[in-house]
């Protein structure tokens, strides 16, 4: 039987997953990654024209 069929077990699993993974997927990390991957390279390309 899938774990999500037991609401209590599913909720516990999700809370644990979020607590463990949230620091890795923070908005700060997302903004830095966006800037490094897209904004800065595009800015350099534009400046070089």
Structure tokens at 16: 């644990």
Contacts of 10 (CB under 8 A, 6+ apart): 3, 4
Q: Is the pTM of this model over 0.75?
A: no
CA distance 44 to 35: 12
Rounded CA-CA distance 18/40 in Å is 30
Q: Where are the domains of the chain?
A: 25-49
pLDDT reported for residue 1? 61
pLDDT along the chain (49 residues), means of 10: 82 93 84 94 85
Distance of CA 48 to the CA centre of its chain: 32
């Amino acid at each position: 039987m899938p774990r999500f069929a037991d609401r209590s077990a599913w909720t516990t699993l999700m809370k644990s997953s979020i607590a463990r993974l949230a620091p890795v997927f923070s908005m700060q990390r997302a903004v830095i990654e966006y800037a490094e991957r897209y904004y800065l390279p595009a800015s350099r390309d534009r400046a070089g024209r």
